[in-house]
Structure 1
Amino acid sequence: MTRQPYPPARRDDVVDELHGTSVPDPYRWLEDSDDPVTKEWLEAQESLFAAEVKALPGRERFRERIAELLKSGSVGAPVWRGGRHFFMRRTPEQEHAVLYTVDPDGTERALLDPMRLDPTGLTTLDAWQPDKEGRLLAYQISVGGDEESNLYVMDVATGTRVEGPIDRCRYSPVAWLPGGEAFYYVRRLPATEVPQGEEQFHRRVYLHRVGVSTEDDVMIFGHGMEKTNYYGVAVSRDGRWLQISASRGTAPRNDLWVADLHASAHEAPELVVVQEGVDAQTGLHFGRDGLLYVFTDRDAPRSRICVTDPATPQVEHWRDLIPQDPEAVLSDFAILDDLDRPVMLVGWTRHAISEISVHDLRSGERIGSVPTPGLGTIGGISERPEGGHEAWFGYTDNTTPPTIQRYDARTGETTLWAASPGAVEVPPVTAEQVVYRSADGTDVRMLIISKPGTEGPRPTILYGYGGFGISMTPGYSASILTWVEAGGVYAIAQLRGGGERGEDWHRAGMLAHKQNVFDDLHAAAEHLIATGVTAPDRLAISGGSNGGLLVGAALTQRPDLYAAVVCSAPLLDMVRYEQFGLGATWNVEYGSAEKPEEFAWLWSYSPYHHVREGVPYPATMFTVFQSDTRVHPLHAWKMCAALQHAQAADRPILLRNEAETGHGARAVSKTVELAADQLAFLARHTGLTG
């Protein structure tokens, strides 16, 4: 393939001195997205990418097949309020999922369709919460992928908007008080009240009364606290108990308070400390039986459920109900109490495979299990707020589009409640979970998905994430199925830093231990090669966000091990990451360059700073999104320029820079285009021709 020359990118003599270390940053000018020089460079990169990707064989075939498999659509679990329930569904031809309600008489209605709000497809529904009676709905929408949610309130019966927009509500929980007259929510302070550059932080908890100006909202909590705090807020079903949690950024710990709203005013709740300054995560559920159920990883890294009286919520009063399992991670629970013997359903993940056990609600004794459709992933267990004998949960696996299952505790049976609406022909695949050994001797698991009957070294994509306690569990993926159907192998490594084995597994891959994550990926690659699944010239790696950091570090640490890389929405300049997007909320995961010891951790692997001239690097595609307000695309821009300058091999370094798209939700057609480009690029550089 005749390749165009890379767009010229000047290398400036910019060097910072940090804790006695010289830190070069030759492409700092690319941090300014408004600079005409940066815009010119991006336009040139776009032209280069368009020329390269146009010549990739199989791109149209990948696009068609991914689109076909995405016609499965999707469906979400029901949320019951009063006589109604609410759920999300996307039909085969829809760009976005639509929020529906089913009225007490059984009539189904579409409440919120993002395409009706905005036919361009750029508007996304970020969150929604009906009030306790199902009469009003709070919902949040944003435009162009920026996730800058505006909050609105709708009258469910008529579909009319009765409130909003309320701005600065990104990631805001909504906790309704009974009657639908007011709710607690989280909102950032106005930009005029915070230091420049900190507009994304400084959240506060407010009480808002429907129909009253937000200027009259009462600040309930958050004044004088850490600027990067995230807050959770919830009100018990009966309206008596308020709980507020605070986490510094994405730290795996929270402070927690409760207030009795029957004994103090809604505008001035008298908060009682449940835990404060404790290195653990805890959440509360106020039962219909008057007891307080505590979900916590305090002294239990795989989590446990305790019970106490709401009037004495502190740890010294907790009684273990469901103790920590020696192997499985406790993930969720629901209470079914319209039974002669009330029960608790408890969700677990065991080596990333979901299961649900049934326990006596009073003693915690295990008395059974919930039948599930297979060895896959269960997405949350829900019940009716007023109680009952039924529960609903989502289910998916490698070949099953999302379904909603209904469990009846009276019969012990699980039945299909709702399936994804589209009929698709899913290709046959085999999935095998293997165990391999990392550099320090730690056993790590990996799921290997392949086409039945294929043998010998095959083009393989190795995917990983390894951060923030997020687990890699089986799920329906049009991209994976398309790649495997074409003859490739797709491997998903359950790296340290994730949550597959609980909080200890997470912490083994964060802060000073981040190198463990990269070592786990390298060891996964070596295992795939040693067992004949693939070969170095047929092996690609892929990751996004924190997974983009993963593959960025991997390609600089072991460029010999990988033939191709897709690096999406990545963090790559780990010295300056805190200064952009939501970076300051992640120093609890990575560390801060402002502290000498933590700077040393970051400097040891920061991908941008480990690019070396004259090294034959893998073929690399960076995919970034211009409206990404979480991870600024400057990371990929700077790394792309550095790799294009340093590359000693005849393998391309490309930048796919997408406008009006952000880090999270997107229209289906945009997902198809992105996935097709990624697979076609990886196929070209791993030899996949099927």
Structure 2
Amino acid sequence: MTAPALRTYPSAPRRDLVEDLHGHLVADPFRDLEDASSEPTEAWSAAQDDLYAQYREQLHATGAFATDVLTDRLRSLLGAGFVSPPAWRGERRFFSRRSGDQEHAVVVVAEGGTERVLLDPIVLDPAGTTTLDSWQPSKEGHLVAYQVSSGGTEESVLHVLDVATGELVDGPIDRARYSPVAWLPGGDAFYYVRRLPPETLPEDETQYHRRVWLHRLGTPATEDVEVFGAGLDHTSYYGVSVSRDGRWLIVSASAGTAPRTDVWIADLAASPAEAPWFVEVAVGLDAQTGAWVARDGRLYVHTDLDAPRGRLAVTDPTEPGVEHWTTLLAQDPTAVLEDVAFIDGGGDDTTPTQLLASWRRHAVSEVSVHDPRTGERRPQTVTLPGLGSISGLATRPDGGPEVWFSYTDHTTPTSVQRYDARTGLTTQWAAPPGLVADLPDVRAQQIEVTSADGTTVRAFVVARTDALDADGRPLAPAPTILYGYGGFQISLDPAFSATTLAWVEAGGVYVVANLRGGGEEGEDWHRAGMRAHKQNVFEDFHAVGEHLVAQGWTTPDRLACWGGSNGGLLVGAALTQRPDLFAAVVCSAPLLDMVRYQRFGLGVTWTEEYGDADDPTELGWLLGYSPYHRVVDGTAYPATLFTVFEGDTRVDPLHARKLAAALQAATSSDRPVLVRRERGVGHGGRALSRTIGLIVEQLQFVAERTGLAGSAA
């Protein structure tokens, strides 16, 4: 693979702008690139498009990284497709599935031995730019509420479908982005979340001001009744659920992405559905809390209050306050409580006989069995297929002895497993709908690294087995991708990845770092990498990179880093703080100007994660690492590929524009700084073909810059 020389970059609109912000002199020379609609910005972006096209034209990818070969291989690796655990409604079950050749996952309804596709985004939009954001069957399973958005905007529009006929019976209801749907028994009404009309709001707040509403089918959304949310923080996100018997309504609220959740409960048997009488479960506490009323009529609370790794408490729903809670599952000293499920006799027999708990221990899942009344751990275990991760513990709403969950690991496509309490056995219930041909012989192992302040950080290393000795050590340094995220309590657990396997089978090493700021070790781990402590995340990442070099996995001229969204901020910090450590960077949909981030997209909802630039102290934190403000003229920066999406309403592409312009102006190396711009997609879901096209170009860029043997001419 031959790299074109790029020494001249398009001229960016630039001015000598320096602002005094709380005593900090802050330069912002590329401020004009914030306005995507301006003629100079569009001219610059078009020139960047031409530059990237020139790079692609001159790139002679051969072998495993030839475009057609890599495209076919990724399509093959993604050929397993996807299937979700079932959502049962009586004997009818609903699930998502994507076969290997489908552009989007579809929703399937099955009953007995027959099944049919209920919702297919391609049928809704053959162009493939419409995504299915969420769906929820009614309690009886005769209706499904679903939400779709177009062009990557994630601006969901809600509809209701009759399951038997496939006909639309309600909707559209707009402004339903990130809305749960909580059906009332009978399917005549549901609670949901919707923003206030934009004409009633300040122009810069139309993305916010959500409320919980009651909607009755067949009535206009303008007649929906607001039941909750007035007077709370305007950035609040809401959760809403109704118990199986329809008696209990539970609402949760969190201001932006703050790691605190307030919860209220209302008895719908004692108050009208249009005006529920809410009682506090956990309000005003520095904790995340989730609550539900189970089939046995008790209120269960999953919380990190006084338990950063999580605990399960129980109380009577008529006495829901913290003072009435009894801990059922105590905090584990080294594992994070993820989910629980109760097993009972089914039907009218609602007395629990088993309690299953799923845990994440250093990012690897396990499931334990407990006495449902005392929480005492029982000797039996739920066997998992390997050292991987599970998601969800799904039961029938009508109870019974079975629990379903998804399982995956670094070399195993996602399947659905079923645990049967009658036998104690775990078996595969649904295999991926497709097959993956010729999976490479690779080995995944977990390593431990010491960060700058002495903290132990873990990472998963995936490499070809024939590249390792008997002890799992590398036989020789190899081109390596270091991937990370480190924020918002998101855990990077073992998972099947076509990107990883395509890279590794060609001779590379792929590393996933479990950094502070994530959720791998609980809320304390998260808070050790947020706000004033954000630099810890970057130090962890650098430590993993240095360890890979020191232990012979790779060398700085063969090491690339890769991240998106908050992970784009991570690699933006890496390339500006440690340009000597990396040869290449893939920076996707990134946050990079941390002085002005909260003015755009959903930025204001993230101030609890990063800090508020309008606060003098917190501005100091942000300036300490803001990648855009750490660019230094004359520095030999790594080759960098920014990938941005014009429909992105979460992270504005202006971040990538501004840092790309700054790097192009400052770098002293001839390593390219490029922007790949894509229209018609956004921050979230996308069609399969677009996903493959993006991965192909990202992998080719990294392979060319790190000299992966599998890509050599």
Given the two structures, how large is their TM-score scaled by the length of structure 1? 0.99
1:52 matches 2:52: no
1:133–1:341 distance in 2 versus 1, CA, 3 Å: closer
Please tell me whether the aligned partners of residues 370 and 413 of structure 1 are also in contact (alpha carbons under 8 angstroms).
yes
Could you say which residue in structure 1 is the equivalent of 2:471? none
Please tell me whether the aligned partners of residues 642 and 676 of structure 2 are also in contact (alpha carbons under 8 angstroms).
yes
Could you say which residue in structure 2 is the equivalent of 1:363? 374
1:112 matches 2:119: yes
Could you say which residue in structure 2 is the equivalent of 1:8? 11
**What SS is found at the alignment partner of 2:465?**
coil
In the alignment, the residues of structure 2 paired with residue 385 and residue 491 of structure 1 have an alpha-carbon distance, to the nearest angstrom, of: 40
Please tell me whether the aligned partners of residues 107 and 119 of structure 2 are also in contact (alpha carbons under 8 angstroms).
yes
Please tell me whether the aligned partners of residues 625 and 662 of structure 1 are also in contact (alpha carbons under 8 angstroms).
yes
In the alignment, the residues of structure 2 paired with residue 54 and residue 472 of structure 1 have an alpha-carbon distance, to the nearest angstrom, of: 35
Could you say which residue in structure 2 is the equivalent of 1:632? 652
**What SS is found at the alignment partner of 1:621?**
strand
Q: Which amino acid is the alignment partner of residue 104 of structure 2? A: H
Shift of residue 366, structure 1, vs aligned partner: 1.1
In the alignment, the residues of structure 1 paired with residue 56 and residue 311 of structure 2 have an alpha-carbon distance, to the nearest angstrom, of: 50
Shift of residue 365, structure 1, vs aligned partner: 1.3
Shift of residue 341, structure 1, vs aligned partner: 6.8
Please tell me whether the aligned partners of residues 182 and 210 of structure 1 are also in contact (alpha carbons under 8 angstroms).
yes
Question: Once the two structures are superposed, what CA deviation does each residue of 1:421-477 show, in whole Å capped at 9, x if it has no partner?
Answer: 111121111111111100001011011100112121100000010000000111010
Q: Which amino acid is the alignment partner of residue 557 of structure 2? A: D
Question: Once the two structures are superposed, what CA deviation does each residue of 1:559-586 show, in whole Å capped at 9, x if it has no partner?
Answer: 1111100000000000000000000000
In the alignment, the residues of structure 2 paired with residue 407 and residue 255 of structure 1 have an alpha-carbon distance, to the nearest angstrom, of: 33
For 1:2-151, what aligned pairs fall within 5 Å after superposition?
2-3=5-6, 5-56=8-59, 57=61, 58-60=65-67, 61-103=69-111, 105-151=112-158
**What SS is found at the alignment partner of 1:519?**
helix
Match for 1:385 among 364, 389, 397?
Answer: 397
Could you say which residue in structure 2 is the equivalent of 1:395? 407
- Once the two structures are overlaid, the 10-residue window that deviates more, 217-226 or 495-504, is 217-226
Match for 2:265 among 258, 262, 265?
Answer: 258
Could you say which residue in structure 2 is the equivalent of 1:312? 319
Q: Which runs of 5+ in 1 are unaligned?
A: none
Shift of residue 41, structure 1, vs aligned partner: 1.0
1:341–1:121 distance in 2 versus 1, CA, 3 Å: closer
Q: Which amino acid is the alignment partner of residue 425 of structure 2? A: E
Given the two structures, how large is their TM-score scaled by the length of structure 2? 0.96
Shift of residue 10, structure 1, vs aligned partner: 2.7
1:447 matches 2:450: no
Question: Once the two structures are superposed, what CA deviation does each residue of 1:42-94 show, in whole Å capped at 9, x if it has no partner?
Answer: 11111111111233323413222112211111111100113311001111110
For 1:398-477, what aligned pairs fall within 5 Å after superposition?
398-425=410-437, 426-454=439-467, 455-477=475-497
In the alignment, the residues of structure 2 paired with residue 483 and residue 132 of structure 1 have an alpha-carbon distance, to the nearest angstrom, of: 44
In the alignment, the residues of structure 1 paired with residue 491 and residue 56 of structure 2 have an alpha-carbon distance, to the nearest angstrom, of: 32
Question: Once the two structures are superposed, what CA deviation does each residue of 1:374-401 show, in whole Å capped at 9, x if it has no partner?
Answer: 1101011100011000010000111111
Question: Once the two structures are superposed, what CA deviation does each residue of 1:511-557 show, in whole Å capped at 9, x if it has no partner?
Answer: 00000000000100100000000011110000000000000011101
For 1:115-194, what aligned pairs fall within 5 Å after superposition?
115-194=122-201
Could you say which residue in structure 2 is the equivalent of 1:497? 517
In the alignment, the residues of structure 2 paired with residue 5 and residue 618 of structure 1 have an alpha-carbon distance, to the nearest angstrom, of: 16
Shift of residue 38, structure 1, vs aligned partner: 1.1
In the alignment, the residues of structure 2 paired with residue 505 and residue 236 of structure 1 have an alpha-carbon distance, to the nearest angstrom, of: 33
Could you say which residue in structure 1 is the equivalent of 2:288? 281
Could you say which residue in structure 1 is the equivalent of 2:358? 347
For 1:639-678, what aligned pairs fall within 5 Å after superposition?
639-678=659-698
In the alignment, the residues of structure 1 paired with residue 123 and residue 602 of structure 2 have an alpha-carbon distance, to the nearest angstrom, of: 30
Q: Which amino acid is the alignment partner of residue 410 of structure 1? A: R
**What SS is found at the alignment partner of 1:465?**
coil
In the alignment, the residues of structure 1 paired with residue 96 and residue 58 of structure 2 have an alpha-carbon distance, to the nearest angstrom, of: 39
Could you say which residue in structure 1 is the equivalent of 2:384? 372
Please tell me whether the aligned partners of residues 329 and 500 of structure 1 are also in contact (alpha carbons under 8 angstroms).
yes
1:245 matches 2:248: no
In the alignment, the residues of structure 1 paired with residue 15 and residue 76 of structure 2 have an alpha-carbon distance, to the nearest angstrom, of: 47
In the alignment, the residues of structure 1 paired with residue 374 and residue 183 of structure 2 have an alpha-carbon distance, to the nearest angstrom, of: 32
Please tell me whether the aligned partners of residues 13 and 41 of structure 2 are also in contact (alpha carbons under 8 angstroms).
no
State the 4+ residue runs in structure 1 displaced beyond 4 angstroms. Answer: none
In the alignment, the residues of structure 2 paired with residue 170 and residue 59 of structure 1 have an alpha-carbon distance, to the nearest angstrom, of: 39
For 1:209-248, what aligned pairs fall within 5 Å after superposition?
209-248=216-255
The CA RMSD measured in Å over matched residues stands at 1.0
Could you say which residue in structure 1 is the equivalent of 2:470? none
**What SS is found at the alignment partner of 1:197?**
helix
Shift of residue 321, structure 1, vs aligned partner: 0.8
Shift of residue 2, structure 1, vs aligned partner: 3.4
Q: Which amino acid is the alignment partner of residue 89 of structure 1? A: R
In the alignment, the residues of structure 1 paired with residue 304 and residue 227 of structure 2 have an alpha-carbon distance, to the nearest angstrom, of: 27
Please tell me whether the aligned partners of residues 7 and 670 of structure 2 are also in contact (alpha carbons under 8 angstroms).
no
1:613 matches 2:613: no
Question: Once the two structures are superposed, what CA deviation does each residue of 1:648-688 show, in whole Å capped at 9, x if it has no partner?
Answer: 00100000011011001000111101101111100111110
Shift of residue 3, structure 1, vs aligned partner: 2.8
**What SS is found at the alignment partner of 2:194?**
strand
Q: Which amino acid is the alignment partner of residue 577 of structure 2? A: Q
**What SS is found at the alignment partner of 1:666?**
coil
Name the % identity: 61
- Once the two structures are overlaid, the 10-residue window that deviates more, 145-154 or 58-67, is 58-67
Could you say which residue in structure 2 is the equivalent of 1:199? 206
In the alignment, the residues of structure 2 paired with residue 467 and residue 147 of structure 1 have an alpha-carbon distance, to the nearest angstrom, of: 21
Please tell me whether the aligned partners of residues 480 and 511 of structure 2 are also in contact (alpha carbons under 8 angstroms).
yes
Please tell me whether the aligned partners of residues 364 and 388 of structure 2 are also in contact (alpha carbons under 8 angstroms).
yes
Shift of residue 164, structure 1, vs aligned partner: 1.0
1:208 matches 2:215: yes
Please tell me whether the aligned partners of residues 135 and 145 of structure 2 are also in contact (alpha carbons under 8 angstroms).
yes
In the alignment, the residues of structure 1 paired with residue 574 and residue 593 of structure 2 have an alpha-carbon distance, to the nearest angstrom, of: 14
Question: Once the two structures are superposed, what CA deviation does each residue of 1:117-144 show, in whole Å capped at 9, x if it has no partner?
Answer: 1111100000000110001100000001
Q: Which amino acid is the alignment partner of residue 400 of structure 1? A: T
In the alignment, the residues of structure 1 paired with residue 363 and residue 610 of structure 2 have an alpha-carbon distance, to the nearest angstrom, of: 24
**What SS is found at the alignment partner of 1:622?**
strand
Please tell me whether the aligned partners of residues 59 and 676 of structure 1 are also in contact (alpha carbons under 8 angstroms).
no
**What SS is found at the alignment partner of 1:574?**
coil
In the alignment, the residues of structure 1 paired with residue 132 and residue 377 of structure 2 have an alpha-carbon distance, to the nearest angstrom, of: 39
Q: Which amino acid is the alignment partner of residue 44 of structure 1? A: A
